[in-house]
Amino acid sequence: MGKTAIITGAGSGLGQATAVRLAEEGVNIAVVDVSEKGANETVALVKKAGADAIFIQADVSKEAEVKNYVDKTLEHFGSIDYFFNNAGISGSGKYFLESDVAEIERIVGINLLGALYGVRYVADVMVKNGGGSIVNTSSSAGVIGQDSVVTYAATKHAIVGMTKSLVAEYAKDGLRVNAIAPGPTETKMVAEFYAANPQMKENATGGIPQKRLGTPEEVAELVTFLLTSKAQYINGEVVRIDGGFTNTK
């Protein structure tokens, strides 16, 4: 039946691009997103690329909904080989002391608790079945400090720690866990953030040596490489894909 991947935040941006790229490699996709419209678009794109796909709606900040998407994937496909633990939000762009507690809790709930719940249930399946591969989405804000994203940066730094520690515990059981640290990328989330904070786009692109944003397709190539058998001896790494942005900091 082929390999199966779960992708969270698969209704747009990096998740959607990676779903399509993996489908081109014959990987079936469990498309997980809170948005039905975007997710159904991804399902159609995956099937057009020649693989099977199902949509499972989930708010990843809710543990029961995370467990459900894992259970539904197993019911439909019978296995979980790859996991792109990708769902996340950026926040308002307000300075930390101007942000409210509700925003802090929402960002932590989706970006950190959602990622932890995901690996808790997916890695359990993988270890019991002899192994698997996970890629977690961190960020340039997960490897350097950046202003106006304090809570977001806290969650993305935490993703790095989670990635490395999972390897320390479960590499011996066949689990590979890596993270990506994208810089500013042409996604809907980034576009909305820059629309609300236009000066930040100017600052970001001015600080990227390649003088442009990345594309979801470029990130999808990296994720596909890290997830699949082509990267068997890469484990516990945080791979920056940012046009040199963090290299200059």
Paired with 136 in beta bridges are 85, 179
Catalytic residue (one of 69, 121, 152, 170): 152
Is residue 102 within 8 A of residue 94, CB to CB? The reply is no
Instruction: Report in angstroms the alpha-carbon separations of 162 from 115, 157, 158, 184, 210.
Output: 9, 9, 6, 22, 30
The 3-state secondary structure of 59-121 reads CCCCHHHHHHHHHHHHHHHCCCCEEEECCCCCCCCCCHHHCCHHHHHHHHHHHHHHHHHHHHH
Verify whether residue 152 is a known catalytic residue: yes
**Residue 161 is encoded by which pair of tokens?**
């720690």
Q: From CA 161, how far away is CA 25, in angstroms rounded?
A: 30
Rounded to the nearest 10 degrees, how much is the dihedral formed by the CA atoms of 138, 139, 143, 148? -120
List of residues 6+ apart from 127 with CB closer than 8 A: 170, 173, 174, 175
Catalytic positions, written as ranges? 152
